[in-house]
Each structure stands twice: as structure tokens, then as C-alpha cells.
Amino acid sequence: MMLIVGLGNPGPNYEHTRHNIGFMVIDELVKRQNAQKLSSSSFQGELFKFSNHFLLKPLTFMNLSGISIAAVKKFYKIDEVVVIHDDLDLPFGTLRFKKGGGHGGHNGLKSADEHISKEYVRVRMGIGKPEHKGEVASYVLSDFSKEEQGYLKEWIATASEAVIELLTKSLEDVSSKYTIKDTSKNIKLQ
């Protein structure tokens, strides 16, 4: 049994923003797995189930994501958690995997760490970073550029396939098969 969490912010204003790439992957997984929506008012999130696994989009806003994750994890007695999130420290379109580690200033990860410990698998989706540090908040809450949008579907599909393989394969195997380090061949960014 695994809990797969996509980080993001609820509401139409945030739907297509860089910070919501985790939600976008969960939406794709719900479609691919024909997951059934569960009543989730007590979890402060949208919760879905397929096979014996759960998909979660916390609706607490990013900074409080850990509250929703911990509630589902505790209620269903789930040991394995995967968190899909945007990562400013990686170039746009990259895909990396790791277990544990620091939050790197990501408030969603910081909240998860506080509520469930750091021992979960992270699916890190690189969104690049703005030129100036003072622009981080507006950058992560802005929509993907036109050029980036051209690659989103393929990138989300790859991340979804990787997450499904995490259900049956080791982190090392999934990482060696699905890691994307160089996106220059796929994306024509300006």
C-alpha cells in the first residue's frame, strides 16, 4: 500500500502554475489508473484509490500540506509515501528521484517533513529558477511559459509512468530508467 501525493495549491488561480506540477501528475494518474474518488472531508484533500494505493492532492495550500498527508497516512496506516513536487534547484523539465533529504526551502516539503518525517520518496520535477531571488514567490505561482507548455504533457506522462513503476520496482531501478537530466533536446526554450 502506497500513498502518492502531489503538491500544489487549490483553486483555479493556481491550476496551471509551476507550483502545481504535483497536482498535474496526480490528475494524470487518476485518469490512467481510473482511480475512484473517496469521501475525504476529514483529510483536507482530494483523495483517490486504485488497487490498494491512494492518490492525494492536499487542499490545505502548500505551506500546510503535511497536515493532509499525515491524516491520510495515519487513518489508512500507510508506511510508504511518495511526494511529487516542483523543484527550483533543477532545470525546467528535469525529473529526479530520491528518498529523504532536506526541503531546500520548499514549504510543502517542509510541512511534510514536520508531519511525517523526512523518510519518503521524492519525485523532483525541475521548474528552473527566476533570475533574481526576490522573484521566487511570483515565479512558482506563475503559469508555465508557452515553450514549457509544449513539453508539459510528455513530462507529466513520464513522471506518471515512473510513479506507477515505484509500486513494484526499487527506487534505484525507477531512477535509472526515468531520470531526465538534460531537456535541451526536448524543449526549445528561449
Active site residues per annotation? 19
- Give residue 47's identity as a one-letter amino acid code: L
Give Cα 109 to chain centroid, integer Å: 10
Give Cα 135 to chain centroid, integer Å: 22
| Order of all β-strands in the sheet with 2-6 | 36-38, 45-50, 53-58, 2-6, 80-87, 121-126, 95-99
Cell 505561482 found at: 141
Q: Is the dihedral of CA 122, 183, 164, 21 positive or negative?
A: positive
Cell of 124: 523532483
The secondary structure element, H or E, covering residue 31 is: helix 21-33
